[in-house]
């Protein structure tokens, strides 16, 4: 076997080629956008991402001193406030982003997985927020956990996911769910970059299809 | 550091029982209602406010 | 080239063959980060965040010793909410179900809680230098099941009161129960109870299941919550303590609890009914691209014409 053949057969080479083919640098970080990207509705995805970065950043600061720090430190309380408000902005922006994407029917043109990963991130974010709420170590977390246990127990999940177990909930909140959420967000963004932002409805084609004139060819 | 943040924390004190709006079986806190209204307003504003860069798009390349 | 397929306006989108313009996404991302950071700093400075102090078995028993004692008795005689809960805590039989789905029961008892032992008998047994309690426990343990049942029936028929640091019961024929319940209340009021309930594993613990269940079985915690509209039937799931915004993204979940049949005929199984409904709704949301009708609404309502108005104008 020649050296070139051997190299081309390597897993390393195949993975690198696969990745670069799927997402070449100028697709990963494009310097242009299609002319139809001309609305403020397009900024809510990146706003959600920005808020997520601040949620994680403030979470890291809270982790430095531990889960009880914010109760007895005014700096800690301020960082906790930042963590809460960045979370509120995160959900605010994500839902406006969802509304925008829905009304654009952004799943069109083989973008169904982008939509699906978005919904899964939404649900994962709710679970992440919930585990945060029950990790506050105050009255709110006591009430939320003792109430939520009924809902979660009723599905059978409570036998394995104990919302009254602070250790378990905190570790899901700071380790497992952020990892899952980050991976899903990365996948979501990669899919957007790979396919590009969904184009507008082609009203001429829609009209043609409706009136039964020659069906437009669609690349499969 | 603590005293610095202590001095500038919470200009508007929300640490009192909330106000709730009741409408039949429906009930919502003023704070939540404000957030939801802000979301809808933001969405509508985003739809209508012109997006910058119009001249760039007019002279755009293929 | 593959054979031409019929154009599906809600599914297909031909590749863009039109113009592009310069767009700096790294700059956009940086601006977004700075703007959100300023917003977060501003909101934190203006409004801070809530931190209502935690309640404990001590604060509960000090604020309302009668409620504590009453709850403690129900934990012993097996009539408390937790005692009758069922899986995952015990075989109390209170599991929820949805028609043929008995998910809660099927998962079994994986977080064992024996309310009589864990909340009452064991903690009392750890009391040192308390001969009346030690003696009462001995009398209790030596009695037959029938005798214990008779004492509990009598105690339950009486009225619990608290005066001069002592929990009393108006009934007679209650055996060692007044000493036991009073002993447990005194233990709680001194702050010595929680540790004994948590300390299943000895020194460390990060699991507060048992004291939390005990605390929530009384009315004290609930009364504090309801005073702030945090109760389930008060749309509490969406609310926060104080006047802060809560979780508006839980609106759908919260709404279901307020409306029939979730609030009426399905009441006893409301939790599993709501959860299954929301799971189905989430799956529908995720699979929207594949659902005819629902995926056509954007094309019908034409909000897109506002978003892409510059594009459609340029076509003319």
pLDDT tens for C184-239 read: 999 999 999 988 888 655 788 899 999 999 999 999 999 999 999 999 999 999 99
pLDDT tens for C40-67 read: 999 999 999 999 999 999 999 999 999 9
Burial class from Cβ neighbours inside 10 Å (0-12, 13-18, 19+) for residue A108 reads: buried
Structure confidence at residue C294 as a pLDDT band (50, 70, 90): very high
Task: Provide the shortest C-alpha distance from residue B43 to chain A (in Å).
Answer: 6
| DSSP-assigned letters across all residues of A20-77 | HHHS-HHHHS-SEEETT--SGGGGHHHHHHHHHHHHHHHHHHHHHH-TTHHHH-HHHH
Mean pLDDT of A176-201: 97
Who among C227, C244, C251 is closest to B31 (CB)?
C244
C306 touches chain B (CB under 8 A): yes
Question: Is there a cis peptide before residue C261, judged by omega within 30 degrees of 0?
Answer: yes
Asked if B43's CB is within 8 angstroms of A92's CB, the reply is no
Task: Provide the shortest C-alpha distance from residue B23 to chain C (in Å).
Answer: 12
Asked if B9's CB is within 8 angstroms of C242's CB, the reply is no
What pLDDT is attached to residue B7?
41
Mean pLDDT of A199-217: 79
Q: Is residue A99 part of a domain?
A: no
Asked if A146's CB is within 8 angstroms of C212's CB, the reply is yes
Question: Does A114 share its domain with A77?
Answer: no
- C96, C276 in Cβ contact below 8 A? no
Burial class from Cβ neighbours inside 10 Å (0-12, 13-18, 19+) for residue A205 reads: middle
Residue C263 has pLDDT above 60, yes or no: yes
The CA distance from C82 to A11, in Å, is 56
What pLDDT is attached to residue C6?
84
Structure confidence at residue A4 as a pLDDT band (50, 70, 90): confident
Task: Please state the ipTM of this predicted complex.
Answer: 0.94
What pLDDT is attached to residue C197?
83
What pLDDT is attached to residue C14?
87
Return the domain boundaries, chain B. 18-49
* Neighboring chain B residues of A71 at a CB cutoff of 8 Å: none
Return the domain boundaries, chain C. 57-223
Instruction: State the residue range of the domain holding A148.
Output: 105-197
The gap from C-alpha A48 to its chain's centroid, in whole angstroms, comes to 8
Question: Does A115 share its domain with A192?
Answer: yes
Asked if C245's CB is within 8 angstroms of B32's CB, the reply is yes
Asked if A158's CB is within 8 angstroms of C107's CB, the reply is yes
Structure confidence at residue A219 as a pLDDT band (50, 70, 90): very low
The CA distance from C304 to C296, in Å, is 12
C239, C249, C298, C301: which to substitute to probe chain B, counting the most B Cβ within 10 Å?
C239
Mean pLDDT of C100-120: 96
Task: Provide the shortest C-alpha distance from residue C129 to chain B (in Å).
Answer: 44
Question: Does A86 share its domain with A129?
Answer: no
How many distinct structural domains can be found in chain A?
2
Asked if A74's CB is within 8 angstroms of B3's CB, the reply is yes
Q: Is residue A34 part of a domain?
A: no
What pLDDT is attached to residue A2?
86
Secondary-structure percent of chain B, ordered helix, strand, coil, rounded to 5: 50, 15, 35
Instruction: Decide: helix, strand or coil at residue C243.
Output: coil
Question: Residue holding tokens 């109870």?
Answer: C193
Who among A36, A77, A85 is closest to C308 (CB)?
A36
Question: Does A183 share its domain with A110?
Answer: yes
What pLDDT is attached to residue C203?
82
What pLDDT is attached to residue B59?
73
pLDDT digits (tens), chain B, 62 positions? 444 454 445 889 999 999 999 998 899 999 999 999 999 999 999 999 999 988 888 875 55
Who among C6, C25, C44 is closest to A82 (CB)?
C44
Residue C19 has pLDDT above 60, yes or no: yes
By C-alpha distance, the chain C residue nearest B55 is: C21
Mean pLDDT of C63-85: 97
Question: Does A132 share its domain with A152?
Answer: yes
Question: Does A152 share its domain with A74?
Answer: no
φ/ψ (deg, to 5) at A33: -135, 155
Task: Provide the shortest C-alpha distance from residue A165 to chain C (in Å).
Answer: 4
Asked if C107's CB is within 8 angstroms of A32's CB, the reply is no
How many Cβ pairs within 8 Å bridge chains A and C?
296
Question: Does A89 share its domain with A110?
Answer: no
Mean pLDDT of A163-168: 97
CATH number at residue A181: 1.20.810.10
> How is residue C73 written in tokens?
């008795």
Question: Does A86 share its domain with A125?
Answer: no
Any idea what DSSP says for residue C101? Answer: B
Mean pLDDT of C22-45: 97
The CA distance from C75 to C84, in Å, is 10
Residue A127 has pLDDT above 50, yes or no: yes
Structure confidence at residue C88 as a pLDDT band (50, 70, 90): very high
Question: Residue holding tokens 């084609």?
Answer: A205
H or E segment at C275? helix C270-286
Who among B9, B45, B51 is closest to A78 (CB)?
B9
């Amino acid at each position: 076997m020649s050296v070139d053949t051997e190299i081309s057969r390597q897993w390393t080479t195949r993975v690198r080629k696969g990745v670069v083919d799927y997402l070449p640098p100028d697709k990963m970080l494009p310097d242009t956008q299609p002319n139809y990207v001309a609305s403020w509705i397009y900024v809510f995805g990146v706003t959600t991402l920005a808020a997520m970065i601040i949620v994680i950043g403030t979470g890291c600061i809270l982790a430095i001193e531990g889960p009880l720090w914010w109760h007895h430190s005014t700096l800690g309380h301020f960082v906790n406030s930042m963590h809460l408000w960045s979370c509120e902005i995160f959900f605010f922006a994500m839902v406006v982003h969802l509304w925008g994407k829905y009304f654009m029917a952004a799943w069109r043109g083989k973008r169904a997985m982008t939509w699906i990963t978005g919904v899964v991130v939404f649900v994962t974010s709710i679970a992440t927020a919930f585990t945060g709420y029950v990790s506050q170590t105050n009255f709110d977390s006591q009430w939320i956990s003792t109430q939520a246990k009924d809902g979660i127990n009723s599905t059978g999940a409570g036998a394995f996911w104990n919302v009254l177990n602070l250790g378990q909930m905190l570790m899901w909140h700071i380790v497992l769910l952020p990892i899952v959420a980050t991976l899903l967000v990365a996948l979501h963004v990669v899919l957007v970059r790979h396919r590009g932002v969904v184009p507008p409805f082609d009203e001429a084609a829609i009209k043609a299809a409706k009136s039964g004139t020659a069906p437009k060819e669609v690349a499969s | 550091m603590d005293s610095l943040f202590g001095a500038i924390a919470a200009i508007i004190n929300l640490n009192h029982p909330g106000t709730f709006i009741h409408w039949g079986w429906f009930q919502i806190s003023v704070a939540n209602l404000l957030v939801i209204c802000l979301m809808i307003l933001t969405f509508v504003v985003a739809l209508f406010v012109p997006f910058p860069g119009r001249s760039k798009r007019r002279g755009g390349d293929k | 080239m593959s054979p031409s397929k019929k154009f599906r306006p809600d599914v297909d989108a031909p590749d863009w063959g039109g113009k592009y313009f310069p767009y700096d996404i790294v700059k956009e991302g940086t601006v977004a980060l700075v703007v959100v950071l300023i917003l977060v700093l501003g909101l934190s400075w203006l409004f801070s965040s809530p931190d209502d102090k935690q309640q404990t078995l001590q604060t509960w028993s000090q604020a309302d010793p009668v409620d504590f004692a009453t709850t403690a008795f129900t934990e012993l005689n097996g009539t408390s909410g937790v005692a009758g809960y069922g899986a995952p805590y015990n075989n109390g039989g209170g599991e929820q179900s949805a028609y043929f789905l008995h998910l809660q029961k099927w998962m079994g008892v994986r977080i064992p809680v024996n309310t009589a032992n864990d909340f009452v008998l064991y903690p009392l047994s750890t009391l040192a230098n308390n001969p009346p309690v030690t003696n009462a426990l001995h009398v209790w343990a030596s009695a037959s099941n029938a005798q214990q049942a008779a004492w509990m029936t009598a105690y339950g028929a009486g009225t619990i009161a608290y005066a001069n640091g002592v929990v009393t019961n108006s009934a007679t024929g209650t055996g060692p129960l007044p000493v036991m319940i009073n002993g447990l209340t005194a233990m709680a009021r001194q702050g010595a109870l929680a540790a004994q309930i948590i300390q299943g594993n000895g020194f460390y613990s990060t699991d507060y299941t048992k004291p939390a269940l005990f605390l929530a079985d009384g009315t004290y915690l609930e009364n504090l919550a309801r005073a702030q509209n945090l109760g389930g039937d008060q749309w509490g799931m969406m609310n926060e303590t104080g006047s802060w915004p809560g979780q508006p993204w839980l609106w759908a979940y919260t709404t279901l609890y307020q409306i029939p049949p979730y609030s009426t005929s399905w009441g006893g199984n409301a939790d599993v009914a709501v959860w299954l409904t929301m799971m189905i709704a989430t799956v529908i949301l995720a699979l929207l691209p594949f659902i005819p009708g629902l995926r056509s609404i954007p094309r019908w309502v034409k909000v897109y014409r506002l978003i892409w108005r510059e594009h459609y104008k340029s076509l003319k």
